[in-house]
Amino acid sequence: MSTFFWLFILGIVCGYLGILIAERKGRRSMEGFLLGFFFDIIGLIVEFILPAEEMRTTLRGGTLLQLDRHNRQLRKCPYCAEMVLAQAKVCKHCGKDLPEYREETTFRQFTPKIIYGRSRLHSL
Ligand SMILES: [Zn+2]
C-alpha cells in the first residue's frame, strides 16, 4: 500500500520535472508529464535525450520565414531574442509587449511589382 503511495509521489515529481524539461525544449508539456509520470527517472533521461522541437525555415514570397513543427509562423522577440509565435502580442519568454505583427509588410517587401518598377526605370 505505502509502496504504491511512494511510487505515485515519485511519478508526480518526475512528471513535474518532465513538464519543465519539455517546456525548455519547446515541446508539449503533456508529453513531458506522461514520460516522467509513467517511466520516472528513465522517462526523464529519455526526455532529456530527445531533441528540442525542430524549427524549419522556408522561403515564401522572397522572405525567410521560420516555422515550428505545427507550421506556425515564428518571429524573434526584439527584447530577449527568443522565438515566439508571429501573432503573439506578449513574449512568452520575457513577458514584454511585442510590436504589432503585420503579415502584409513581410510579404510585400519582395513582390514582383518592385522589380518591374525598377526594370522599367532602367529601360527608359
Ligand atoms: Zn522576449
Q: Is the same domain home to 124 and 95?
A: yes
Q: What is the pLDDT of residues 50-68, one digit of tens each?
A: 877 766 777 766 666 788 7
- Averaged pLDDT of the chain: 79
pLDDT score of 108 more than 50: no
Q: How far is the CA of 110 from the centre of ligand 1 (A)?
A: 27
pLDDT score of 7 more than 60: yes
Its domain, for residue 119, covers 54-124
Collapse the DSSP code of 64 into the 3-class scheme (helix H, G, I; strand E, B; otherwise coil) and give the result: strand
Q: Is the same domain home to 58 and 45?
A: no
Name the nearest CA neighbour of 47 among 72, 24, 77.
24
Q: How far is the CA of 23 from the centre of ligand 1 (A)?
A: 15
Q: How far is the CA of 83 from the centre of ligand 1 (A)?
A: 8
Question: Of the residues 52, 75, 93, which one is the last residue of a structural domain?
Answer: 52
pTM: 0.48
Q: Is the same domain home to 66 and 123?
A: yes
Q: How far is the CA of 32 from the centre of ligand 1 (A)?
A: 23
Collapse the DSSP code of 12 into the 3-class scheme (helix H, G, I; strand E, B; otherwise coil) and give the result: helix
Q: Is the same domain home to 82 and 29?
A: no
Residue listed under C-alpha cell 522565438? 83
